[in-house]
Structure 1
């Protein structure tokens, strides 16, 4: 489903080209649960942005669901992101002046759904993360874990092919983080492809494949054994 071929990403700083990703070859199949690890500055966030179609490679090819994104315009890419990728971020990115259920509805507003259909789907998504009883509360009335569950409900409302989570437990305490990771594991069991970006080894081991990025290159790519996966 995800295929990167000789992907390079270079940013220009003044008159200097700074390489961030270097000849990345990576495939992630439909239904996989993978984590991307690496220290600060390793290129893992840049790789996440390319996988999430938030950025394009400088060189190389990215095929998402067998579709090469290279020559697609911004409108087409925005539609592809909205319909096929659910994003979960460390800082939640909830709008403070609307309720939990209204936050969850946002991708459907951009998708042109009717109001009644949006509400029905949003309530169902909140039920999936165990938060329907809080749907009329505002973000400032929710705990960190509850905010993240709202963000996850928003990410899954379009039943995306890919759930892409960037440090999803970084702003949470350990116990709350474990509950959030249980939600991702359940979604993967239901058939969603899940890719986590994290610097925490314990979180990375919730997946069954770990991809280590160092100095813009894949330093290690391994699937966990059954014993490792269990803990």
Structure 2
């Protein structure tokens, strides 16, 4: 489903060229639950952006569901994101003046879904994450865990094949983090959604079936402690 072949990413900082990803080759099959780990500055977030079609490789080939998306323009990448990928971020990224229901409806507006269907699907998505009684609440009336559940509902409402979560528990307490990771586990096991989580927490990575460790822009064998937690 996801195949990266010798992907590199280089940025120009002034006159200096900085290589962030260095010939990364990677396959992730449909229905996998994968964690991406690595220290700060390792390139793991850049790798996530690449997988999520938020950025394009400098060299190499990225094939997603049979499509070579490596050189798509911005409109092409936006189409792929809207049709195939749901995003969940550490800081939730909810619009403060919109209710939970309206926040969840947003991706469907961009997808051209009718108003009546948007509401029906948003209600269903919020029900899946246990927020049927919070649909009319604004984000400032929700707890951190509830905000992240709204973000998950927004991510799944277009029925994507892939969920990409970037440090989804980073702003949450331990108990709420467990609840959120259980949500991802259910999406993966019950609905077959491919889940990819970027994290620095071994407790979060332990939910995944496979851990990819990134250092200095390259994929490396995970340290023994992390490897053991994922086995």
Q: What corresponds to 2:144 in structure 1? A: 144
Residues in 1 aligned to 2:138 and 2:221: alpha-carbon distance in whole angstroms: 42
Write out aligned runs for 1:128-139 (5 A): 128-139=128-139
Q: Secondary structure at the match of 1:24?
A: strand
Q: Structure 2 matches for 1:209-224, cutoff 5 A?
A: 209-220=210-221
Report the Cα offset of residue 74 of structure 1: 1.5
Q: What does residue 195 of structure 1 align with? A: 196
5+ long unaligned stretches in structure 1: none
Aligned to 1:37: 37
Distance 2:178 2:222 in 1: 24
Matches within 5 A, 1:39-118: 39-118=39-118
- Asked if the contact 2:205–2:230 (Cα under 8 Å) also holds between the matched residues in 1, the reply is no
CA RMSD of aligned residues (A): 1.7
Task: Report Cα offsets for 1:90-138 as digits up to 9, x if no partner.
Answer: 0000000010000000000001111110000000000110001100000
TM-score (norm 1): 0.95
Unaligned runs of 5+ in 2: none
Structure 1 SS opposite 2:60: strand
- Give the C-alpha shift of residue 220 in structure 1: 1.9
Residue 209 of structure 1 contacts residue 221 of structure 1 at CA under 8 Å; is this kept in 2? no
- How many pairs were matched up? 228
Structure 1 CA distance for aligned equivalents of residues 205 and 79 of structure 2: 30
Residues 1:206 and 2:221 aligned together: no
Task: Tell me if the contact between 2:10 and 2:20 (Cα under 8 Å) persists in the aligned partners.
Answer: yes
Mapping for residues 148-187 of structure 1, pairs under 5 Å: 148-187=148-187
TM-score (norm 2): 0.95
1:171-228 per-residue CA deviation (whole Å, 9 max, x = no partner) reads 0000000000000000000200000000011101110100000011001269xxxx95
